[in-house]
Amino acid sequence: MTVIDGDLIVTGALTAGNVFHTVVRVTPEPGVPTMVEVTGVTLRGRGTVRAQATAHTSVPGIRVVEVAVAALSPTGCQVWIHRTNSVETNVSVLMWREP
């Protein structure tokens, strides 16, 4: 494991063509994982597509049980959220692909 203490400097071929960010609004079913498709993405590159999701909530860990990204491809993904209630939730999704 590498620990970075301080500023992170990215070098190499990182461009707007291989980084994508969006916010999706999900209205979950209480107590059941709920999925929303993200489509229309065009990630360039040949490397593995990676992603990270973060739920925007004022009380993390209590009502949001888990948020995840699955079925990654250069053209989209699935965003999953599991909440204990049905409050509509914004989820930030960041996708990237190595050149």
DSSP character string of 29-42: PTTS-EEEEEE---
The predicted pLDDT at position 63 comes to 83
Task: Record the tokens describing residue 91, joined without a space.
Answer: 């989820």
Q: How far out from the chain centre does Cα 50 lie?
A: 9
Residue 99 has pLDDT above 70, yes or no: yes
DSSP state string for 55-99:
EE-SSBTTTEEEEEEEEEETTEEEEEEEESS---EEEEEEEEE--
Task: Tell me whether residue 74 is in a domain.
Answer: yes
Task: Decide if 8 is inside a domain.
Answer: no
pLDDT at 13: 60
| CATH code assigned at 84 | 2.60.40
Question: Does the residue 9 lie in any domain?
Answer: no
- Whether 5 is covered by a domain: the verdict is no
In a domain, 20, yes or no: yes
Tally of domains within the chain: 1
Residue 3 predicted with pLDDT over 60: no
Query: Is 58 inside any structural domain?
Result: yes
Whole-number pLDDT of residue 45: 85
Write out the residue range of the structural domain in which residue 57 sits. 16-97
Give the largest Cα separation in the chain, rounded: 43
Position with higher pLDDT, 78 vs 2: 78
How does pLDDT run across 6-61, given as a tens digit for each residue?
665 666 666 667 899 999 999 999 999 999 999 999 998 888 999 999 998 766 66
Question: Structure pTM?
Answer: 0.78
7 part of a folded domain: no
Q: Pseudo-torsion of CA 54, 69, 24, 28, nearest 10°?
A: -90
Residue 72 tokens, joined: 């990654």
| Residues sharing a CB contact under 8 Å with residue 65, sequence separation 6 or more, in sequence order | 82, 83, 84
